[in-house]
Amino acid sequence: MTFPSTPPAGGVLAPWTFPETVQVQVPGGPLVVAVRMGVLPIVQLRWCYRGGTYGIAPGLEGLAGIWNSTARHGTRKYESAELAQVLDHRGIRLRFSTGLESTTVAISTLSQHFDWAVDLLDEVAFGPTFPEHHVARERAKALEVLHHQLSVPGYLAGLWLNHAVYGGHPYGRRSSTLEGLKAVTRQDVQGFHERIMAPGSSRGMLLVVGDVDPHAVAHRLARRWENGDLDGAATTDAEQVASKPLEGLGFPVPEPQIIAVDRPESEQVTFGIGHQTIPRAHPDYYALRVANQVFGGGASSRLFMTLREQRSLTYGVYSRLSAGTRGGELSAEMATALDKAEEAAEALMNEFRGICASPISAEELTMAKQYLVGAFPRRASGVGGVASLVMMARNHGFGLEQWAEHQARIAAVDLDEVHAVTQRWIRPEALSVVAVGPGELCARALAPLGRVEVKGVGAVPPCSV
Amino acid sequence: MVLQPDSAVPIVGLALYYGIGSRNEERGRSGFAHLFEHMMFQGSANVGKAEHFRHISAWGGQANGTTSRERTNYFEALPSNQLGLGLWLEADRMRSLAVTPENFENQRQTVMEERRQRIDDSPYGEAMVRLGEISYRNWAYGHPVIGSWEDLKNAQFDEVVDFHQTWYRPDNAVLAIAGDVDVEQAMAWINEFYGDIPAGPPRAAPNLTQELRTAAVHEQVADPIAQLPAVFINHQAPPFNHENFPVYEVIEAILFRGQSSRVFRRLVLEEATAVQISGGYEAHNGPSLFGMFGVAGAGAHDDLGKIVAGYKEELDRMANALVSKRELETAIHQIQANWVFRQEGVLNRALALGSAELFHADPLWDKKLLDRVALVTAEDVQKVVQTAFPQHGEVILEVHPR
């Protein structure tokens, strides 16, 4: 049998549909959402709240992280060790997380423990007691971890780039600082918890994804709250802050910065480069997403093919379109050998210039769209992935029907559109660039891009808001 | 070949495992198996340089490869209507490579950047290389998968073809598919694409022996990048075909899994001598290890011995007294639940099936292990800890910020 020189033609792509979902809005209370994913006997339950690090007072950077790690160490019903034992005995995973604009408490469990897990989720979400000694230990641990992170070049590059891109805006705020961590008290942690995790609040969403009957579960869980102590449509401080117009976001952007961070012991130079761009709800979002895929979205992108496969400058380089509710950012990162730093800086900048100067071709457009359309079902193939999609829809204020249309919206992007958004939203002249490595070498590599500011060993960006 | 149909989502996962890893390398050639993995993306008879990713990306797929001490794998997740593409791509590069000295040099440079990024410029990176060297009493397992700088520089392009013809043969490979697969169609493609690829020549068996360590090793290294002191502790352990494998799994869970685990609770939560603890059974089908890694908290910055002592006292406690019924149940439940969670995603399942078939000639080995774990007793745990963690055989590596 002769081996064919081309792959077999693919059959018809099976359509993807969003899993069966039932939503019940408790009047004046939380939204309950249940999604059926019955492949495995597992369920993920999440309390998702609007409000996150965005509303934390200046000087307390790190407060959310301490809340995340301390909330499991004691509730009204369980001591820290007791809670750990009951969780581990059932193989249950518990996770607290806080983003800029949302906060989550999530439990993943085998479906046989579902009923028990529902009660436990409420206990850990609404009943933490934050014993003083646990707060003190987690604060000390967070300080040590931050010391460690400040030795990681990628972390340093991200820190400075974020500051350069967003200026003093809360989007550019550091999630934790040594000073902020030291200042956080037990009362701050308790206060943060009470502001965000209000039981019965209409800011909350109880989400269940997995091996459940969504009709039965959504209605049953909603009934638990119907006669409860509901808070109507109250807003939090965090929401009030988040709803203010964000000065400085969107073009015109803050003055681009070129920063060399001196890390004398480095074996590589790590670059971060980026600028602000549009929020998730912007009409240009889908076209810009396609443009980013062509530019640096994977191992077939322009960045990867040129900088790694043709020029051997790096192990990996990708670009990222990060679109929040108020604004977003287009950025890229790469690390290169010390003796290639100058070449790499120039090459990276040239790729940004190139995506504007050399228009995306019809073939590139087709490839990028096919990738994004075909990849979407993978994103929604696990309980965690589906839960994240539901959360994202709520945080960005669109309905789940938008996910059903997601592939069609990507497929509808045409060449004119993608060219227009590339010109509109990718601006080489607005790029801030950070290089972490031996200071003098970094400064030399960045010099052709503009006036270089050299930051000393141990320097970190200021935390103004 | 292993096929596991599941049409819940229109996605298919494909994993191709080859029985070649860094343990098969000769002295002076360290890192070649991994460098060769990179070359597999540089072109074959019908697929140009870097076109593998383009083919996969064009359908929204995901692809990559990894190299470990004992195997190299290549994998794809694809919309299920593109399974034929995945099988064809893997077959094309199993049948032939079409690479050039220029591509080889390009990938040598890429791997050097990978080494800088993962090891040379990463906290504790160099220490982990040293840890392998002193923990294994067997060069085949003790040298780093990514290779030494000297060997990477000396790697020769003219060895690529021979390496491919020796190791990348169907009689040294396992193909696993999980997900939305039409078994009849898949088998037809497999026969068409792979059926006439000849078997390889006899291959040298790796060195699986390891002398029993009779003297403890205690070293200190300075790390110019790390900010926090840290310590590694390793003991020799049996390979994964040993009857005590499930007992080691249970010991690992009791010591390290979850916030109720003994070592985590003691060192991180109660004594706060560590800010991060990880550890467990690093099982191979040759020399294996059981160990831990602890990053010091403020209370142990000047004395990593506190972490070492805490860990060893927990081992002593397990040797001197039976673990409770509830603690044993907790460990078993955790192992069972983790197995279920790991089944999420068809690519994960294909990878697990392929690995189990390659190493155990049984794709369901992992699942059957759960039954063996359920039979582990408190006496089994005590006996293994009493006999298999001798102090004279331990390796301790302290890492101090320079």
Domain boundaries of chain B, sorted by first residue: 2-194, 217-401
For residue A6, list chain B residues with Cβ-Cβ distance below 8 A: 46
Smallest Cβ–Cβ distance between B193 and the set A3, A305, A308 belongs to A3
Choose from A17, A20, A70, A267 for mutation: most chain B CBs within 10 A. Answer: A267
- Does position B148 have pLDDT exceeding 90, yes or no? yes
Quote the pLDDT of residue A253: 59
First and final C-alpha spacing in chain A: 69
How far apart, in Å, are the Cα atoms of B330 and each of A117, A253, B67, B278? 17, 54, 33, 18
More confident residue, B269 or A462: B269
Q: Are residues B225 and A141, on separate chains, in Cβ contact within 8 Å? A: no
- Same fold yes or no, A21-226 and A258-455: yes
Provide the pLDDT confidence category of residue A463 given band limits of 50, 70 and 90: low
Mean pLDDT of B103-116: 96
Question: What Rg do the C-alpha atoms of chain B give, in angstroms?
Answer: 23
Q: Check if A370 contacts B (Cβ < 8 Å).
A: yes
Mean pLDDT of A121-136: 97
For residue A73, list chain B residues with Cβ-Cβ distance below 8 A: 269
Range in A132-146, A387-401, B177-191, B318-332 with the lowest mean pLDDT: A387-401
Query: In this structure, are residues B331 and B254 in contact, taking their beta carbons and an 8 Å threshold?
Result: yes
Query: In this structure, are residues A465 and A290 in contact, taking their beta carbons and an 8 Å threshold?
Result: no
Q: Which residue in B has a C-alpha nearest to residue A305's C-alpha?
A: B50
Q: Distance from A315 to chain B by nearest Cα, in Å?
A: 5
Percentage of residues in chain A with pLDDT exceeding 70? 94
Positive/negative CA dihedral, B241, B247, B248, B249: positive
Q: Are residues A42 and B341, on separate chains, in Cβ contact within 8 Å? A: yes
- Give the whole-angstrom CA distance, residue B70 versus residue B18: 9
The structural architecture, per CATH, of the domain B2-194 is: 2-Layer Sandwich (3.30)
- Same fold yes or no, B2-194 and B217-401: yes
Q: Which fold has domain B217-401?
A: Cytochrome Bc1 Complex; Chain A, domain 1 (3.30.830)
For residue B48, list chain A residues with Cβ-Cβ distance below 8 A: none
- Does position A249 have pLDDT exceeding 80, yes or no? no
Angle between helices A415-425 and A362-379 (to 10 degrees): 90
Query: In this structure, are residues A144 and A179 in contact, taking their beta carbons and an 8 Å threshold?
Result: no
- Give the whole-angstrom CA distance, residue A22 versus residue A28: 18
Strand order in the sheet with B230-237: B217-223, B395-401, B230-237, B288-296, B274-282
Would you mind telling me the total number of residues written for chain B in this entry?
402
Task: Name the average pLDDT for chain B.
Answer: 96
- The DSSP code sequence of A247-265 is TT-SSSPPPP-EEEEE-TT
Q: Are residues B121 and A268, on separate chains, in Cβ contact within 8 Å? A: yes
For residue B114, list chain A residues with Cβ-Cβ distance below 8 A: 315
Beta-carbon count within 10 A of A43 CB = 25
For residue A267, list chain B residues with Cβ-Cβ distance below 8 A: 116, 120-121
* Residue A161, amino acid: L
Query: In this structure, are residues B148 and B30 in contact, taking their beta carbons and an 8 Å threshold?
Result: yes
Burial B5-42 (b: 16+ CB within 10 A, else e): ebeebbbbbbbbbbbbbbbbbeeebbbbbbbbbbbbbb
- Does position A462 have pLDDT exceeding 90, yes or no? no
Give the ranges where A32-169 is alpha helix by DSSP (H). Answer: 63-70, 80-89, 114-126, 132-149, 153-166
**Tens digit of pLDDT for each residue in B216-261?**
999 999 999 999 999 999 999 999 999 999 999 999 999 999 999 9
CATH class of domain segment(s) A258-455:
alpha beta
Query: In this structure, are residues B28 and B185 in contact, taking their beta carbons and an 8 Å threshold?
Result: no
- Does position A235 have pLDDT exceeding 80, yes or no? no
Provide the pLDDT confidence category of residue A326 given band limits of 50, 70 and 90: confident
- Does position A465 have pLDDT exceeding 50, yes or no? no
Provide the pLDDT confidence category of residue A242 given band limits of 50, 70 and 90: very low
Would you list the domain boundaries of chain A?
Answer: 21-226, 258-455
Quote the pLDDT of residue A250: 55
Nearest alpha-carbon partner for A393 in A325, A328, A330? A325
Smallest Cβ–Cβ distance between B258 and the set A1, A87, A151 belongs to A87
Query: In this structure, are residues B210 and B138 in contact, taking their beta carbons and an 8 Å threshold?
Result: yes
Between vectors from CA B125 to CA B119 and to CA B128, what angle results, nearest 5°? 125
Query: Residues near A418 by Cβ (< 8 Å), separated by ≥ 6?
Result: A287, A290, A291, A294, A360, A365
Six-digit token pair at A278? 């549009």
Q: Are residues B196 and A335, on separate chains, in Cβ contact within 8 Å? A: no
Mean pLDDT of A316-336: 94
Mean pLDDT of B315-323: 97
Query: In this structure, are residues A23 and A222 in contact, taking their beta carbons and an 8 Å threshold?
Result: no
Quote the pLDDT of residue B402: 86
Residues 107-136 of chain A whose Cβ lies under 8 A from any Cβ of chain B: 108-110
- Does position B370 have pLDDT exceeding 60, yes or no? yes
Provide the pLDDT confidence category of residue A231 given band limits of 50, 70 and 90: low
Question: What Rg do the C-alpha atoms of chain A give, in angstroms?
Answer: 24
Mean pLDDT of B340-353: 96
- Give the whole-angstrom CA distance, residue A138 versus residue A134: 6
Choose from B260, B324, B400 for mutation: most chain A CBs within 10 A. Answer: B260
- Does position A240 have pLDDT exceeding 80, yes or no? no
β-pair partners for A108: A44, A93
Q: Which residue in B has a C-alpha nearest to residue A7's C-alpha?
A: B85
CA A57 to chain centre: 21
Angle between helices B305-320 and B378-388 (to 10 degrees): 130
Residues 314-373 of chain B whose Cβ lies under 8 A from any Cβ of chain A: 326, 329-330, 333-334, 336-338, 340-341, 343-346
Query: In this structure, are residues A396 and A281 in contact, taking their beta carbons and an 8 Å threshold?
Result: yes
Q: Are residues B330 and A337, on separate chains, in Cβ contact within 8 Å? A: no
How far apart, in Å, are the Cα atoms of A219 and each of A88, A113, A187, A225? 29, 19, 36, 10
Task: Name the average pLDDT for chain A.
Answer: 91
- Give the whole-angstrom CA distance, residue B373 versus residue B257: 15
- Put residue B147 in one of left, alpha, beta given phi > 0 → left and psi -120 to 50 → alpha: left
- Give the whole-angstrom CA distance, residue B204 versus residue A367: 43
What backbone torsions phi and psi does residue B94 show, to the nearest 5 degrees?
-80, -30
Burial A185-219 (b: 16+ CB within 10 A, else e): ebebbbbbbebbbbbbbbbbbbbbbbbbebeebbe
Q: Check if A318 contacts B (Cβ < 8 Å).
A: no
**Which residue matches tokens 């994913």?**
A37
**Tens digit of pLDDT for each residue in A31-73?**
999 999 988 999 999 999 988 888 888 899 999 999 999 999 9
Mean pLDDT of A378-390: 93
Task: Return the SS3 of B290.
Answer: strand
Smallest Cβ–Cβ distance between A84 and the set B79, B114, B258 belongs to B258
Give this prediction's pTM.
Answer: 0.94
Nearest alpha-carbon partner for B227 in A182, A265, A455? A265
**Tens digit of pLDDT for each residue in B286-317?**
999 999 999 999 889 999 999 999 999 999 99
Mean pLDDT of A387-415: 93
- Give the whole-angstrom CA distance, residue B344 versus residue B275: 30
- The DSSP code sequence of A289-346 is HHHHHHHHSSTTSHHIIIIIIIT---S--EEEEEE-SS-EEEEEEEEEEGGGHHHHHH
- Give the whole-angstrom CA distance, residue B328 versus residue B334: 10
Quote the pLDDT of residue A166: 87
Strand order in the sheet with A328-337: A318-323, A328-337, A268-277, A432-437, A258-262, A452-455
Percentage of residues in chain B with pLDDT exceeding 70? 100
Q: Which residue in A has a C-alpha nearest to residue B44's C-alpha?
A: A5
ipTM strictly over 0.90? yes
Choose from A108, A315, A336, A460 for mutation: most chain B CBs within 10 A. Answer: A315
Quote the pLDDT of residue B66: 98
Beta-carbon count within 10 A of A245 CB = 7
Six-digit token pair at B43? 């072109």
Q: Which fold has domain A21-226?
A: Cytochrome Bc1 Complex; Chain A, domain 1 (3.30.830)
Nearest alpha-carbon partner for B39 in B115, B113, B107, B88? B107
Tell me, what DSSP letter sits at residue B119?
I
